[in-house]
Structure 1
Amino acid sequence: MTSKHILKLSSINGFFENDNTIIKRGENALESNHIKFMQFDADLMIIRGDVYASMKDKTYRNEITLNKSGEIIEGSCACPRGFRCHHLAALALFGHYNISVTDKQCTWNASKPKNAEVKTSEDIYPSKPYFAIDRQINKEELNALREKLDLFGSTVGFTWLLKEETPDDKSNGAVFIIIEDIISSNEFCSSENKGEYLKEKCAIDDQQIKLIADITKGQTLNENWFLVRKHRITASNFGLILSCFKRNKFPPSLFKALAGAYNLDGIKSIQWGRTHEKTGLDYLKTNLNLDVQPTGIWLSNSGLLGASPDGLVGVDSIVEIKCPYSFRNDKLSESLKKQNTYVIRYNESGEIVINSNHKYFHQIQGLLHILKRKKCYLCIWTLHEIITVIVEIDQLWAENLSILENFYINHYLPKLMKE
């Protein structure tokens, strides 16, 4: 390890805003040999590297940009979180110990750790209590400060931080639970019944569920949405799991799909759906006069299952948009006459109905049951036709929630623990 570090621990702490949780996870990843590769470009002051994901069968490309003083000015990671993640922390720490001020463009393939003791950031920079003044402020003084700042309106930034806490605010201390943090904790590892421990830690009430749905609005554009859904079973996979459950066979491909091991960004059908989803939403708003409101991810009370509808309508309805790539150039009502395997089909009376054997049926029922709503506006969009079907909640489907939660504890959790 080098003695003259170009990337100092103080810079790493500053970039991660002294978030000890992320930094400690970065240290754990470093000690577990999760750095696969690192390259330093001294001219551009850029550190690039590949860091193993927690599952160790996938790597994420990371990039850290430094200024001439060795301070981190920018960092990015290809993981769902995207920035200020433990992968970046691990690469930064690896860079701290391996890049000297005299290095030019160099490449490292991570080697086995030596016996030398590595101090943690907490050992080197122990936290100290901080007091802005040398006496206690009483409530009257604090209220007087609030009143004076209110006179300036929005001119003074962050005055919302000084607002008095309401009972609702106090109950929202920990907004959401990250499952990865639980299963990597010492308490979980030492617990005798890990399934029961996880269920106890993940269980949430209706108020927390609504709060999480609110702070994850924007879904794929919102970092919190990725954090909440990670290691949870989401509605888009309900049909796949229930199909495997009926056959009592759970192939490796199932767990790869649940872990997000397949990169869907390059699949044409996925890109097509993402591109045209807004067109379907606009149709519902304009032609059916629906007031569609955006939402985030909703969790079951167990905290193990999640559902992200494409929108909310009123207090009892949701919206789901499908843009089938295989039917993109078809008039869907004509194509359905030739096959009956899609999510909608013709019945014997010539009416278009929902196909209860299709995976989208299970996705929609999962959405309705987790959100506790009564109906779904299923809008299917193609270039030549738009068909909207109202799907009512099927109360008998509710038993599948228990099946899915039991699958999580008995099958999915053991896989997560191994990885």
Structure 2
Amino acid sequence: MFDGVLTSPGYGNAEDKALYVLSSLAVSPQQKEAIERATVGQTKNALWTAYRKKRVTASNFGLVLKAVKRNSYPPSLFKTLLGQYNLKQGAHACDWGILHEPKAKQEYTERTGVTIQERGVFLSDKGLLGGSPDGMVSDDCIIEVKCPYAARTKTNLQAAERKDFFLELDEVTGLLKLKQTHNHWHQIQGNLHLTGANNCHLVVWTPLDLVILLIHKDPA
């Protein structure tokens, strides 16, 4: 894993340590497939945590892209990427999501008749990037489930009235859509590119309703 690379004799002896790290993290197509299969179960699987460690994962792509755009890289960004954040911060929202994700998946399957296939972590060829969709519903479609704590007493439509919510009302269609400026958008796009899928079902669950949005891969 990443920590093993940094403590290896090769790293200590390497003239170009950055190049050594890059070459050490690179994975073959066969390795990528094996790692994905070995990390099914995600948070319940210790290997999933190990392979994500010190890699830039899809859930943080939005933070990185915004930092690059601003040309500003605050210490908080690196703490987040390195997993050095305060575990108590946002704990209620995280616990709420973990608790209700199975219910959201069940309601998705009941509504669509589609079975969700659990998947592990997908790595980029260079091994620096990783992504873990909440599952796949076909070879060309991933699923991402969100159970927003901020909407725990609202419908999605009601929650979308808040400017800080990740869904908004499309003025043309009158339907809810995902804000393309939100980190969830970048997370989904990252997972689409890493998995090779072209579509994503974004499932947004609250105790009052369930919304399923189709998100297409952005070729950019």
| AA aligned opposite 1:204 | V
SS at the partner of 1:279?
Answer: helix
Q: How does 1:6-405 map to 2 (within 5 A)?
A: 178-264=1-87, 267-336=91-160, 338-349=161-172, 350-396=174-220
**Comparing 204-213 and 367-376, the one that deviates more:** 204-213
| AA aligned opposite 2:58 | A
| AA aligned opposite 2:217 | I
User: Residue 324 of structure 1: CA displacement?
Assistant: 0.5
**Distance across 1 between alignment mates of 2:100 and 2:111:** 17
Unaligned 5+ residue runs, structure 2? none
Contact 1:380 1:387 in 2 (8 A): yes
**Distance across 2 between alignment mates of 1:313 and 1:210:** 18
| AA aligned opposite 1:211 | A
User: Residue 263 of structure 1: CA displacement?
Assistant: 4.1
User: Residue 275 of structure 1: CA displacement?
Assistant: 0.3
Contact 1:378 1:391 in 2 (8 A): yes
| AA aligned opposite 2:176 | I
Contact 2:188 2:200 in 1 (8 A): yes
User: Residue 340 of structure 1: CA displacement?
Assistant: 4.4
Contact 2:203 2:211 in 1 (8 A): yes
Aligned residues: 218
User: Residue 317 of structure 1: CA displacement?
Assistant: 0.8
User: Residue 236 of structure 1: CA displacement?
Assistant: 0.7
- 1:112 aligns with none
User: Over aligned residue pairs, what C-alpha RMSD do you find?
Assistant: 1.4
SS at the partner of 1:292?
Answer: coil
**Distance across 1 between alignment mates of 2:171 and 2:163:** 11
SS at the partner of 2:130?
Answer: strand
What TM-score do the two structures reach when normalised by structure 2? 0.94
**Distance across 2 between alignment mates of 1:280 and 1:264:** 24
Unaligned 5+ residue runs, structure 1? 1-177, 397-419
Identity value in percent: 36
Contact 2:159 2:165 in 1 (8 A): no
User: Residue 311 of structure 1: CA displacement?
Assistant: 0.6
Query: Larger RCO: Structure 1 or Structure 2 (Cα < 8 Å, ≥ 6 residues apart)?
Result: 2
User: Residue 356 of structure 1: CA displacement?
Assistant: 0.6
Deviations 1:111-153 (A, max 9, x none): xxxxxxxxxxxxxxxxxxxxxxxxxxxxxxxxxxxxxxxxxxx
Going from structure 1 to structure 2, the CA distance change for 1:284 and 1:265 (only over 3 Å counts) comes to farther
| AA aligned opposite 2:69 | K
| AA aligned opposite 1:387 | V
Contact 1:291 1:314 in 2 (8 A): no
**Distance across 1 between alignment mates of 2:166 and 2:65:** 16
